[in-house]
Amino acid sequence: MLMTVMTVAIGITQAHADDFTQCSQSFYGGIYPEFTNTKLSNKTQELCMDGFAVMYSGVSRTPLWSAEHLDRTRLQQAKQIDREDSFHEESKLPESARASLTDYSGSGYDRGHLAPNANMATRSQQYDSFSLANIAPQSPRNNRYIWRNIESATRYLTQQYGEVYTITGVAFTNTKTKQLANRVLVPSHFFKAVYIPATNQAGVYYAPNDESERIDVISIDELTAETGIDVLPMLDIQTKREALDLPLKAGEASEGSDTSAQEPDWMLFVWAILEWLLAQLKA
């Protein structure tokens, strides 16, 4: 009888879950992040969204991470699509595990995208990016300034090197975690891991979820120690150990990077101007 009850319970929580083999193109080498802290895997669900993949937590009612594979063609297509806000609950998730729009109402936190709308190449991808399964409570200044800059910088790196893999996620490192509406947990930090296949280099943007506008660049190994997640398990030991000096804004150079695969300087300058103009139009 106990086994039957357990089987039914598992069936309920996984009834709408996807299988990451359906969206393996979002991950470098087709291998998705691994939990080194197995407690984080409690009540998680794999979600294959259009254009990205999400590991969702029914405990925090937020994504733990969202994964994307970016290339120049995708970003060129994304520039043709105007932003249409369509925040919505995720129907793939059981109602008991979902965040709701009312959870965020009057909270003082922004609904922060992990996989950003500006990376989405089709209306379907854009719609999925506004799912609350891809959203976490984010400090307004962090979301609107720091995070906006590093999203632009990541697109800039994609233009330089042709493609990048990114894993954007959240961390809960405080001894006491805030909640929205006694339901949605507020992350202590946001991170964005960036891997450049052309140079076999990786680094991580790591920022406290507050109004300080502070951001650090750390290694994949350091991120694993902080979060309990190995976001890029296919990378070699040396690449995980060394942090690429990631740019904090579009147009800044990454020190120590191999620039042989970069576009001519004048093209990068034009790209930076276009990014700025688009940001002004969407503001």
To the nearest 5 percent, what fractions of the chain are helix, strand and coil?
Answer: 35, 25, 40
Calculate ∠ Cα 198-148-271, nearest 5°. 55
Note whether 204 and 106 are within 8 A (CB): no
Confidence at residue 25, expressed as pLDDT on a 0 to 100 scale: 97
pLDDT of residue 18: 78
| 122 neighbors 51 (Cβ within 8 angstroms) | yes
pTM: 0.84
113 among known catalytic residues: yes
Q: What is the 3-state secondary structure (H, E, C) of 58-96?
A: CCCCEEEEEEEEEEHHHHHHHCCCCCCCCCECCCCCCHH
3-state secondary structure of 218: strand
For the chain, give every domain's residue range.
26-250+259-282
Confidence (pLDDT) at 3: 35
- Active-site residue among 16, 69, 113, 189? 113
* CA atoms of 194 and 224, how far apart (whole Å): 14
Annotated binding site for Mg(2+): 143
CB atoms inside a 10 Å sphere around CB 93: 22
Give the residue from 93, 84, 28, 33 showing the smallest Cα distance to 62: 93
Return d(Cα 214, Cα 93) in angstroms, integer. 34
Binding positions: 143
Q: Which two tokens stand for residue 239?
A: 């690449």
pLDDT at 179: 97
Give the CA-trace dihedral at 214, 240, 76, 161, to 10 degrees: 110
* CA–CA separation, 145 and 215 (whole Å): 11
Beta bridge partners of residue 196, listed in sequence order? 201
Residue 172 zone, left/alpha/beta (φ > 0; ψ -120 to 50; rest): beta
Q: Which token pair is 19?
A: 């299988």
Q: How far is CA 187 from CA 19, 20, 69, 118, in A?
A: 26, 24, 24, 22
* 242 alpha-carbon distance from chain centroid: 21
What integer pLDDT is reported at residue 58 of this predicted model?
97
**Can you list the residues of the chain whose pLDDT is less than 70?**
1-17, 253-283
What stretch of H or E contains 6? Answer: helix 2-13
What's the CATH number of domain 26-250+259-282, 3.40.570.10, 3.30.1490.20, 3.30.450.20, 3.40.50.300?
3.40.570.10
The closest of 63, 127, 125, 124 to 98, measured between CA atoms, is 63
